[in-house]
Chain A
Amino acid sequence: MIKHLKSAADLDAATATLILDTAGEMAALAGREVKKLPTLRGRTVVNLFYEDSTRTRISFEAAAKRLSADVINFSAKGSSVSKGESLKDTALTLQAMGADAVVIRHPASGAPHRLASWVDGSVINAGDGTHEHPTQALLDAYTMRSRLGKIEGLKVAIVGDVLHSRVARSNVLLLTTLGAHVTVVGPPTLIPLDVAAALAPGIKVTYDLDSVLADSDVVMMLRVQTERMQDSYFPSAREYSRRYGLDAPRMRKLPEHAIVMHPGPMNRGMEIAPEVADSSRSTIVEQVANGVSARMAVLYLLLGGKA
């Protein structure tokens, strides 16, 4: 098993499949009266969050606690970080406390890579800048597999601000590894340069959302920050929504079985219409539940599991 999970590219197909299978077992546990496993008893997991992220932090916290790990939440606000402590000094502190795993969320791309060079424990990337968010990709893949039965061969459209999206990068990498056919969709200003060459040579790029809908098994909508408007990535929220938002008429173009995903938090009425978000195709709430199972699987395999 790998030691760290810094990027979805750290996962080969076999490892990713093992994590998804394990997540399935963890999910079965959630149905039981006692939701706890003793696997990580006596192990310490630190949640090191330099960005506000209630849902990801809670998800990791629940995952670690269900595995009986001791959880320490370390948030940038109200800690020594706000007094100007460097990431390295924080890392050395955590090291001295004997952290077995550090889950890090950080606004700077590559912060988990730096952290991994300073601590002995496992480092799990919970979102770094505009780089990656590998556990989000795992929970998304898990969600697709449970809804559609497989990942290999699925046609997945990832729509929106691919340039700034760590969710998109991790999903492109993981889904391609697992044999899905990925198309990234968005205005040209929000599609990063040489995206196929950089991430996965097999992916397609299109600027036309309508052209891909009829042939998609999965449409994954990305959050678009309205402040991108000020930077001239697109002229207005309205125009963005008209060209790249998933509304009811567009949803009707999807095949019967297709699902709609969103990593949250959503801008209802911007990239996704409320009636789409609340439709039976939407997996948005499931994604949250699956997040705990996927993160349990990651912690279990990286720390305890001898798989």
Chain B
Amino acid sequence: MTSYLLKGVSVLGGSPTDLLIKDGVIASGAGKADETIDATGLVALPGLVDLHTHLREPGREDAETVETGSRAAALGGYTAVFAMANTSPVADTAGVVEQVWRLGREAGLVDVQPIGAVTVGLAGKQMAELGAMATSAANVRIFSDDGHCVADPRLMRRALEYVKAFDGIIAQHAEEPRLTEGAQMHEGEVSTRLGLTGWPAVAEEAIIARDVLLAEHVGSRLHVCHVSTAGSVEVLRQAKARGVRVTAEVTPHHLLLTDELAASYDPVYKVNPPLRTAKDVEALRQALIEGVIDIVATDHAPHAVEDKECEWAYARPGMVGLETALPVVLSVLGEQWELIAERMSRAPARIAGLTGHGTDLSPGSPANLTLVDPAARRVVDPAELASRSRNTPYAGTTLPGRIVATFLRGEPTVLDGKAVK
């Protein structure tokens, strides 16, 4: 196994030091290495962990595969991603989650951890075999019907309770379906002007309020996917103050973009939950800084060209995000490396119970890390993305930071900003 010496690297923005990677772990002290990387001016972060990725395989390999999504993730600085269950077939059995897990191992670019569906076929009617997925080779701990809300309160309660047996967690896509029938964008001034059916903030907030009460009642853990409104932040703040075991994520796009972008009717800005107002963006940023929102998760949602190059109402919701997540977060938070490491690596690994990721870059730790050049600026060009899909809302935008290298258990997956395989 090739050893690497990262010369003059700044760990989490600290003063320059040398970091030796040997036999898959961070070695103690300096020393000789097979390869030396001049890391002057580069910042080392623990490898990023994404709790919310759509890899589309099986079923929509034209939009993304486990391999192309893994490559995009590595290029974005990730060493572990959690693959959502809304594939075709749905990841609601041990067989499907094991298939995804195996494809991830074969790609070997990031650790791919499947998320299991809460209900059979994401239909919201009958609980899937959560225990079978938990004890499968994929070792599933996070369950989600993402894309759909577990709307039935009784079923949600049972799912929250049931997964306690194997320390699982339910990740809820909070959207009261009756309030969002036909919804196309955030309900407000802009939706009124554009004549697009509104997705009211209360449809998210009402479900989060219900679910934190359910989680409190049964003493379970709840994770809230892609929080998008200022009102949701307040519900979470109160729940956390009461001691409810709830965690929450925000996407990079909800930290940066607003509903005004829909005015172009270009579905590249169509996403679920929708882009909200500047006031919501401000509340989400504040919540992320304070820790009311625990993590950043990409909701990387690749879509084939024909599913986006059409009328707004007919387009599928979602944006690709793995390769731009860290630059977007850098542009929002600035170079707060400690905070970034917490929100994008340590906390997501902790929530998922994922060992070996999100650890400090100290001797003996698994060498899962990424090197960032914070001084670099990049104009996003959809054609350059490693993802199989091109639906980025940042085309032409200049973003700070460039991921120079990523290491997975001591093996480089990205070097000189390029995927190793």
A residues engaging B (CB < 8 A)?
86-88, 106-111, 113-114, 117, 128-132, 166, 169, 192-195, 197-199
Q: Which of B146-202 contact A (CB under 8 A)?
A: 184, 187-198
Name A197's closest neighbour in chain B (CB-CB): B189
Q: Tell me if B15 is interfacial: C-beta within 8 Å of chain A.
A: no
14 extra interchain contacts, Cβ-Cβ under 8 A, other than A88-B310, A193-B189, A194-B192? A86-B306, A86-B309, A86-B310, A108-B313, A109-B195, A110-B194, A110-B311, A114-B311, A117-B266, A128-B195, A129-B196, A130-B195, A192-B192, A198-B192
Partner of B265, one of A114, A166, A193: A114
Q: Tell me if B143 is interfacial: C-beta within 8 Å of chain A.
A: no
**Measured CA separation A2–B101 after assembly (Å):** 55
Name B197's closest neighbour in chain A (CB-CB): A130
- Check B192 against A193 for contact (C-beta < 8 Å): yes
CB distance from A47 to the nearest CB of B (A): 18
- Check A110 against B191 for contact (C-beta < 8 Å): no
CB distance from A107 to the nearest CB of B (A): 8
Residues of chain A within 8 A (CB-CB) of B311 are 87, 106, 108, 110-111, 114
Provide the B231-267 mask, 1 if CB < 8 A to any CB of A, else 0: 0000000000000000000000000000000001110
**Measured CA separation A174–B309 after assembly (Å):** 30
Q: List 20 A-B contacts (CB under 8 A).
A: A86-B309, A87-B311, A88-B309, A106-B311, A107-B313, A109-B194, A110-B194, A110-B195, A111-B265, A113-B265, A117-B266, A130-B196, A132-B195, A169-B193, A192-B192, A193-B188, A193-B191, A194-B189, A198-B188, A198-B193
Decide: A110 near B190, CB < 8 A? Known: A128-B195, A166-B195, A193-B198.
no
Name A195's closest neighbour in chain B (CB-CB): B192
Q: Tell me if B312 is interfacial: C-beta within 8 Å of chain A.
A: yes
**Measured CA separation A108–B165 after assembly (Å):** 48
Residues of chain B within 8 A (CB-CB) of A113 are 264-265
Name B181's closest neighbour in chain A (CB-CB): A231
- Check A198 against B309 for contact (C-beta < 8 Å): no
- Check B192 against A199 for contact (C-beta < 8 Å): yes
**Measured CA separation A35–B186 after assembly (Å):** 48
- Check A109 against B196 for contact (C-beta < 8 Å): yes
- Check A114 against B194 for contact (C-beta < 8 Å): no
**Measured CA separation A194–B191 after assembly (Å):** 10
**Measured CA separation A4–B197 after assembly (Å):** 24
Residues of chain A within 8 A (CB-CB) of B197 are 130
**Measured CA separation A157–B346 after assembly (Å):** 59
**Measured CA separation A217–B306 after assembly (Å):** 49
**Measured CA separation A279–B187 after assembly (Å):** 40
- Check A114 against B193 for contact (C-beta < 8 Å): no
Residues of chain A within 8 A (CB-CB) of B313 are 107-110, 129
**Measured CA separation A198–B265 after assembly (Å):** 16
CB distance from A93 to the nearest CB of B (A): 15
Name A191's closest neighbour in chain B (CB-CB): B192
Residues of chain B within 8 A (CB-CB) of A169 are 193, 195
Decide: A87 near B310, CB < 8 A? Known: A113-B265, A193-B188, A193-B189.
yes
Residues of chain A within 8 A (CB-CB) of B310 are 86-88, 114
Name A86's closest neighbour in chain B (CB-CB): B310
- Check A131 against B195 for contact (C-beta < 8 Å): yes
Residues of chain B within 8 A (CB-CB) of A166 are 195
CB distance from A69 to the nearest CB of B (A): 26
CB distance from B256 to the nearest CB of A (A): 23
Q: Which of B22-57 contact A (CB under 8 A)?
A: none
CB distance from A35 to the nearest CB of B (A): 35
- Check A198 against B189 for contact (C-beta < 8 Å): yes
**Measured CA separation A263–B39 after assembly (Å):** 69
CB distance from A245 to the nearest CB of B (A): 24
- Check B195 against A193 for contact (C-beta < 8 Å): no
CB distance from B237 to the nearest CB of A (A): 25
Name A116's closest neighbour in chain B (CB-CB): B265
**Measured CA separation A192–B194 after assembly (Å):** 11
CB distance from B264 to the nearest CB of A (A): 7
Residues of chain A within 8 A (CB-CB) of B187 are 193
CB distance from B20 to the nearest CB of A (A): 53
CB distance from A148 to the nearest CB of B (A): 28
Residues of chain A within 8 A (CB-CB) of B306 are 86
Residues of chain B within 8 A (CB-CB) of A114 are 265-266, 310-312
CB distance from A161 to the nearest CB of B (A): 12
Residues of chain B within 8 A (CB-CB) of A109 are 184, 194-196, 265, 312-313
Residues of chain B within 8 A (CB-CB) of A108 are 311-314
Name B305's closest neighbour in chain A (CB-CB): A88
CB distance from A26 to the nearest CB of B (A): 29
Q: Which of B187-234 contact A (CB under 8 A)?
A: 187-198
**Measured CA separation A131–B314 after assembly (Å):** 15
Most chain A CB atoms below 10 A, which of B194, B311, B314? B311
Partner of A110, one of B189, B192, B198, B312: B312
CB distance from B190 to the nearest CB of A (A): 7
**Measured CA separation A94–B235 after assembly (Å):** 52
CB distance from B117 to the nearest CB of A (A): 30
**Measured CA separation A117–B266 after assembly (Å):** 10
**Measured CA separation A128–B196 after assembly (Å):** 10
Name A112's closest neighbour in chain B (CB-CB): B265
CB distance from B267 to the nearest CB of A (A): 9
Q: Which of B285-324 contact A (CB under 8 A)?
A: 306, 309-314
CB distance from A160 to the nearest CB of B (A): 15
CB distance from B193 to the nearest CB of A (A): 4
**Measured CA separation A114–B187 after assembly (Å):** 21
**Measured CA separation A169–B191 after assembly (Å):** 12
CB distance from A264 to the nearest CB of B (A): 20
CB distance from A37 to the nearest CB of B (A): 34
Residues of chain B within 8 A (CB-CB) of A197 are 189
CB distance from A204 to the nearest CB of B (A): 16
Most chain B CB atoms below 10 A, which of A110, A128, A194? A110
CB distance from A134 to the nearest CB of B (A): 12
Residues of chain B within 8 A (CB-CB) of A87 are 310-311
Residues of chain B within 8 A (CB-CB) of A192 are 191-192
- Check B196 against A110 for contact (C-beta < 8 Å): yes
Residues of chain B within 8 A (CB-CB) of A111 are 265, 311
Q: Which of B330-377 contact A (CB under 8 A)?
A: none
Name B311's closest neighbour in chain A (CB-CB): A108
**Measured CA separation A232–B388 after assembly (Å):** 43
**Measured CA separation A195–B194 after assembly (Å):** 11
**Measured CA separation A218–B265 after assembly (Å):** 33
